């Protein structure tokens, strides 16, 4: 490929983060559905009870630094990732309380660490909701 060609990786928070109920993260609509109706979700591994939900997923919440190292090895220039609304706003509602947004500080700190680690590795972060 020409040196001017830029490429990267992309993920969705639900599919890779895991840590579905850690550090203040609230239950998402998809968490609720997969917990309430696990038989409605196809899985390639019926012996693993977590294979029909995102409870653990790829565990990127705990292993994001390893994931970013792999992107660097692959010479990725960009990383498009989604931000879990329920990690930032555990009750699903973004609102001001006493003049301050009700953001989950631990959730915001996680995304700060991800973005900082990407930038340290010369990978451009592209965040989506």
User: How do residues 23-52 score in pLDDT, each as one tens digit?
Assistant: 999 999 999 999 999 888 877 666 666 678
Among 19, 2, 9, 1, smallest CA distance to 118 is for: 9
Q: List, for residues 82-120, the tens digit of each pLDDT value.
A: 999 999 999 999 999 899 999 999 999 999 999 999 999
Extract the tokens encoding 61. Answer: 């919440």
* Global pTM exceeds 0.85: yes
């Amino acid at each position: 490929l020409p040196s001017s060609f830029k490429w990267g990786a992309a993920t969705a928070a639900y599919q890779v983060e895991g840590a579905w109920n850690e550090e203040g993260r609230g239950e998402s609509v998809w968490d609720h559905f997969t917990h309430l109706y696990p038989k409605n979700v196809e899985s390639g591994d019926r012996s693993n009870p977590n294979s029909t939900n995102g409870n653990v997923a790829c565990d990127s919440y705990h292993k994001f630094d390893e994931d970013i190292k792999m992107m660097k090895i692959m010479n990725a220039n960009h990383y498009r990732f989604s931000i879990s609304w329920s990690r930032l706003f555990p009750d699903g509602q973004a609102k001001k309380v006493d003049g301050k947004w009700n953001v989950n500080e631990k959730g915001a700190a996680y995304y700060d660490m991800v973005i900082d680690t990407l930038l340290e590795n010369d990978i451009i972060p592209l965040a989506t909701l």
